[in-house]
Chain A
Amino acid sequence: MAPISIQLDRISKRFDHTVKGEVYAVREVSLAVEQGELLTLLGPSGCGKSTTLRMIAGFEEPDEGTISIGGKDVTHVLPNKRGIGFVFQNYALFPHLSVFENVAYGLRVQGRDEAAIGRAVGDVLELVGLGRYERQQPHQLSGGEQQRVALARAVVFQPEVLLFDEPLSNLDAKLRVEMREQIRALQKRIGITTVYVTHDQEEAMAISDRIAVMDRGEIVQEGSAHQLYYRPASEFVARFIGRTNILPGRVVSAAEVEVEGLRIALATSRAMGETVQLVVRPEMIELGPAAGETGAAHIVQRTFLGEKTDYLVALGGSTLQVSATDHYRRPPLDVGQPVTVHFHPEGLHVLG
């Protein structure tokens, strides 16, 4: 295992709220980010992602807990002494400085000599594909270009860690995908420890080595995209990451759970007769035409989306979301048609 680069130890931050009084924006968050890892803080708006990130950067000071970077306690160290590169949601380019001077800023502050600055800035602008933009002013650039300048500015002075706060949220959908790939490629190339904040689960899954999901100021689950998707720890995580069905079930034996009258093979340590919640992803359900009119389930709605076909299926008291990705191989199912429902056991997960 790589050494730990950023360590948060039970940090909390409270803010004064005009109505509610003091409220926790971040509560007892502990987190370890490994050297060279890209960790994403993911969560809905207001859950405390930015506040956590800003405490790592030193823009906010935690009310409790400690932060260390590279093994040094930096809890009370000012941001300019932490060696962090920060990329802001609004880019925060200095409007009175050219692209070159924006990128050179950190190097000038360090007092590097002119030749070294010129080389370093030239190289990094080349790296982000803005070789010919040195003389431009920030307001002459597109959003994507501005973002790349901001990125170049943050990495040029070789900080120990790189922090991103929703860097792509002002870009259009297509550019977002392109930019996140660029960011990921650059991060891997220079192997820099990175914390990335976003509320977009797809972006998080695409870019991260590891994701920490936050809810109301706390980290509710940490893991790879794969773990979060298939083994969510709570209904919140299950619903926040991807589309999901959450079905009531009852344990009928050590190896079987009953859902809406269907018996499903599923090993669980729960006691017999206990009710549980099952998480089933839409693409892990297989539908088939039921023989005759006897099926317990029928199609309520069908939506053809090109790469897949989405169905809504009435099953007992529940409505299932089902995605058929192999739809090109089968005839479509019609609304009202009775169907058989088959859950893939590897896609089933018992909550709690």
Chain B
Amino acid sequence: MAARQTVSWRRVAADPALLTAILAVWILLLLFVLYPLAHLLERAFFDESGFTLEPLLASLVDSGHQAAFANSLILATVVGALGTALGFLFALTAVRAGLSRHWLTFLDAAALLPLVSPPFTTSIAIIFSFGPKGFITHDLLGLTNVSAYGFWSTMSAETLTYFPIAYLTLRPILAAIDPNLEEMAFSLGGSRWRIFRTVTVPLAVPGFANAFLLLFAASLADFATPLILAGNSFPVLPTQAYLQITGLFDFKGGAVLSLILLVPAVAVFLLQRAWVGRRTYVTVTGKVGQRSRSRAIAPWASVLLVAACVAVAAIIVYFYALLLIASLVVAFGANNSFTWHHYHVIFTEGLPAIRDTLIIAAIGMPLGGFYGVLVGYLIARRNFPGRRAMELVAMINYALPGTIVGIAYLIAFNDPPVALTGGVLIIVACYIFRYSPTGIRATVALLQQIDRSLEEASSSLGAGSGETFRRVTLPLIAPAFFAGLGVVFIRSMTAISATIFLVSISWTLITVRILENMTEMALGPAAAFSVFVIVVVFVVVAGLSAILVRLRAPAAGAAARSFLGG
């Protein structure tokens, strides 16, 4: 094996472009992934006298922290289960209820809306609906003295926000189960319910597991929703860590808390790899039958499914309508007369945040897109020592809860030798290394469909590896480039969990302003900001989709979909 290693190294050394690219990526990964993580661990486990578990143990016996830990797990479990169920409902309806294209588009749009929205939108809408002055609780039901805060509202908001992940995971799996298979069981005399239980559901089981784990991880890492909705009665780990740092300036305590969050996160990651990742999802397919209404679902059941989905979709649409209205009235619930005032506010007082966010997104977008394509290319196409390690390290910031990444960056880049806090670079870097892995994966997936011989042809024609990448590979993986860039842009506009630790007087973010507005109960501007973000994201996604369609490249559609998957 040693001989093989030297051969690879010699190849790499003979190829300056490749060597440069590998070194550059490793330097970036060291600086922006491993270095902050190392600092976080050092802060948590070392003090003047060396290694210590003191802070960890202190944190573990703290009853408040224990409660936060338990709450986080309970919340993640319930959101995982309910979100998976809801996603399954949508997926089943989409593939089996024989809906027309228009209805499908409507369901898709409603289901995907939450994924491209800033994190507080559902929370804001819930407060508008169920708060003390809520449209439903107060105006419709005439209740007073209700609280919109706590487990139930947090759980509902997270379920509505994250169930699309389950939908996106389960839908292709259900679609790949040949309806003929169900029909065959049906023709053999099984009852519909029995077939559903014994054929459809078992085939979808790995999908359920995967969806559950994804939702569990998303809820575990969610920071924005509990910060708004959980209130004092229901503390969870990410918010506790945040308060520890911003409230108490206790960096060590925050670091330790965020690391406790790491335990379930890593467990989920390993479970997913070991258990779900290895199975092939679809065990049986024949030639896929026509996409007509499957007889395997009784007509009344179809109607029920559609009704349920439409109800959920209606709730989502209602929430967004509420958001829009709230941004256009003086004080929602109290004074419902029309005004542009909130928009005026966000484009005057709020302008710095908008400008900063757009600048950050605009810088991060091309860099993140290029970084994703480069790393994906190196991983999928080049053979060099340390390739697997590069793949793994590149995924770390993506897999970690944002709170951990944010705290790690804050601790690592606060002091020399790499003092970056307060600047724009730290925020951009955080987004790039946290959200480019989507682009990396899209690139790898696309490259697997592009025959290697194209690059070999280029190289036999005299092009070096850099020139081949530029002239052949890059044009062919353009869809992945745009998908990766799109995800970085969307997340730059909407994410908060990591970057809330990194904003400063000179550089702030729309999402952070929304949070401030919420805590000051300035709900109108918060709603206006949210609407603005949704519109910008929508316009950019539509633009990128148009580019992807024009590229007509293989798998452009899949790449487009990965916008949302990430």
Q: With A and B bound together, what is the CA distance between A95 and B475 in angstroms? A: 10
Interface centre among B457, B464, B472, by most chain A C-beta atoms within 10 angstroms, is B457
With A76-B14, A109-B461 in contact, is A59–B475 under 8 Å at CB?
no
How far in angstroms is the closest Cβ of chain B from A324? Answer: 45
Q: Does A37 make an interface contact (CB < 8 A)?
A: no
Question: Bound state CA distance, A59 and B383, in angstroms?
Answer: 12
- A153 neighbours in B (Cβ, 8 Å): 457, 461
| Complex Cα gap A85–B457 (Å) | 8
Which one of A86-94, A193-201, A269-277, A279-287 is at the B interface? A86-94
User: Contacts A63-B7, A92-B451 given: A85-B472 contact, CB under 8 Å?
Assistant: no
Whole-angstrom CA separation of A154 from B7 in the bound complex: 28
Contact for B7 among A61, A80, A86, A96, CB less than 8 A: A61
> B279 on the interface (CB 8 Å rule)?
no
Most buried by A among B4, B451, B454, B465: B454
Contacts of B7 in A (CB 8 A): 61, 63
A110 within 8 A of B: yes
Is A248 interfacial (CB-CB < 8 Å)?
A: no
A63, A79, A95, A96: the one within 8 Å of B460 (CB): A79
Bound Cα distance from A191 to B458, whole angstroms = 23
* CB pair A86 B475 closer than 8 Å: no
Residues of A contacting B458 in the complex (Cβ-Cβ under 8 angstroms): 94, 105
Contacts of A89 in B (CB 8 A): 453
CB distance from A211 to the nearest CB of B (A): 24
B15 within 8 A of A: yes
Contact of A105 among B14, B461, B464, B475 (CB under 8 A): B461
Q: From A57, which residue of chain B is reached at the shortest CB distance?
A: B460
**Which chain B residue lies CB-closest to A153?**
B461
Q: Does A350 contact B (CB under 8 A)?
A: no
A51-64 CB mask vs B (1 if < 8 Å, else 0) is: 00000011101010
Give bound CA distance, A109 to B461, whole Å.
8
Give chain A residues whose Cβ lies under 8 Å from the Cβ of B139.
none
Question: Would you call A80 and B456 a contact (CB within 8 A)?
Answer: no
The smallest beta-carbon distance between A303 and chain B, in angstroms, is 38
Q: Determine if A86 and B476 form an interchain contact, defined as CB atoms under 8 angstroms apart.
A: no
B4, B456, B462, B464: the one contacting A92 at CB < 8 Å is: B456
Given contacts A79-B459, A110-B462, contact A88 B453 (CB under 8 A): yes
Segment 197-249 of B: residues with Cβ below 8 Å from A: none
Q: Which residues does chain A contribute within 8 Å of B464, judged by CB atoms? A: 78, 80
B11 at the interface (CB under 8 A from A): yes
Asked if B467 CB lies within 8 Å of chain A CBs, one says yes
Interface residues on A, range: 20 to 34
In the complex, the answer to whether B10 meets A88 with C-beta atoms within 8 Å is no
Q: How far is the CA of A51 from the CA of B467 in the complex (A)?
A: 25
A43, CB-defined interface residue at 8 Å: no
Q: A320 in the interface, Cβ–Cβ < 8 Å?
A: no
Contacts of A229 in B (CB 8 A): none
Residues on B with beta carbons closer than 8 Å to the beta carbon of A251: none
> Which residue of the partner chain A has the closest CB to B475?
A96
Alpha-carbon distance A81/B467, docked complex (angstroms): 13
Asked if B460 and A85 make an inter-chain contact with CB atoms under 8 angstroms apart, the answer reads yes
Partner of A109, one of B11, B453, B467: B467
- Residue A106, interface by CB 8 Å: yes
A88: B residues at CB distance < 8 A = 453, 456-457
Query: Interface 1/0s, chain B 88-127, versus A by CB < 8 A?
Result: 0000000000000000000000000000000000000000
Q: CB within 8 A of B462: which of A57, A59, A157? A: A157
**Which of A59, A61, A84, A95 makes the CB contact (< 8 A) with B476?**
A95
Q: How far is the CB of A22 from chain B (nearest CB, A)?
A: 9
Across the interface, do A80 and B11 meet the contact criterion of CB distance under 8 Å? no
Q: How many whole Å from A137's CB to the nearest CB in chain B? A: 11
CB pair A90–B451 under 8 Å, yes or no, is: yes
Which of chain B's residues have a CB closer than 8 A to the CB of A94?
454, 457-458, 472
Please name all residues of chain A whose beta carbon is closer than 8 Å to the beta carbon of B14 when the two chains form the complex.
76-78
A92 touches B454 (CB 8 A): yes
Q: Which of A79, A81, A110 has the most CB atoms of chain B within a 10 A radius of its CB? A: A79
Other-chain residue from A59, A63, A76, A105 in contact with B456 (beta carbon distance below 8 A): A59
In the bound complex, what is the Cα–Cα distance between A106 and B459 (angstroms)?
Answer: 9
A80 and B475 form a contact (CB under 8 A): no
By beta carbon, the residue of chain B nearest A111 is B462
A163 — which chain B residues lie within 8 A by C-beta? 460
Q: B456 touching A86 by the CB < 8 A rule?
A: yes
The answer for the CA separation of A157 and B456 in the assembled complex, in Å, is 16
Taking CB atoms and an 8 Å cut-off, the chain B residues in 1-22 that contact chain A are 3-4, 7, 10-11, 14-15
- A90 and B3 CA atoms in complex are apart in Å by 32
Interface members, chain A 203-218 (any B CB < 8 Å)? none
Tell me if B463 counts as interface (CB < 8 A to partner A): yes
Which residue of chain B is the closest to A85 with respect to CB atoms?
Answer: B460
Q: Which one of A78, A85, A105, A157 lies within 8 Å of B15 (CB-CB)?
A: A78
Please report which residues of chain A, range 105-141, place their CB below 8 angstroms from some CB of chain B when the two chains form the complex.
105-106, 109-110
Q: Which residue of A lies closest to B460 (CB)?
A: A86
**Nearest B residue (CB) for A89:** B453
Docked complex Cα distance between A90 and B15 (Å): 27
Are B459 and A78 interface neighbours, CB within 8 A? yes
Taking the closest CB of chain A, its distance from the CB of B452, in whole angstroms, is 9
For the complex formed, measure the closest distance between the CB of A4 and the CB atoms of chain B, giving whole angstroms: 21
CB distance from B383 to the nearest CB of A (A): 10
Chain B 63-78 interface mask (CB, 8 Å, partner A; 1/0): 0000000000000000
A145-183: CB near B (< 8 Å → 1, else 0) gives 000000001100100000100000000000000000000
Q: Mark B460-492, 1 if CB is under 8 A from A, else 0.
A: 111111011001100110000000000000000
Contact partner of A79 among B3, B4, B454, B456, CB < 8 A?
Answer: B456
Q: How far is the CB of A14 from chain B (nearest CB, A)?
A: 9
Tell me the complex Cα distance, A109–B457, Å.
12
| A331–B102 CA distance with the chains assembled, in angstroms | 76
In the bound complex, residues from chain B placing their C-beta under 8 Å from that of A57 are: 456, 460
Seen from chain B, the residues whose Cβ lies within 8 Å of a Cβ on chain A are 3-4, 7, 10-11, 14-15, 451, 453-454, 456-465, 467-468, 471-472, 475-476
Please give 15 more A-B residue pairs, beta carbons under 8 A apart, in addition to A61-B10, A77-B14.
Answer: A57-B460, A59-B459, A63-B4, A79-B460, A80-B464, A80-B468, A82-B460, A85-B460, A86-B460, A90-B451, A94-B458, A95-B454, A96-B476, A106-B462, A109-B471
Residue contacts A-B, CB under 8 angstroms, 30 given:
A57-B456, A57-B460, A58-B459, A58-B460, A63-B3, A63-B4, A63-B7, A76-B14, A78-B465, A79-B456, A79-B459, A79-B460, A80-B460, A80-B464, A82-B460, A84-B460, A85-B461, A86-B457, A86-B460, A92-B451, A92-B456, A92-B457, A94-B458, A105-B463, A106-B461, A109-B461, A109-B462, A109-B467, A153-B461, A157-B462
The 6 closest A-B pairs by CB, nearest first: A106-B461, A92-B453, A86-B460, A92-B457, A79-B459, A109-B462
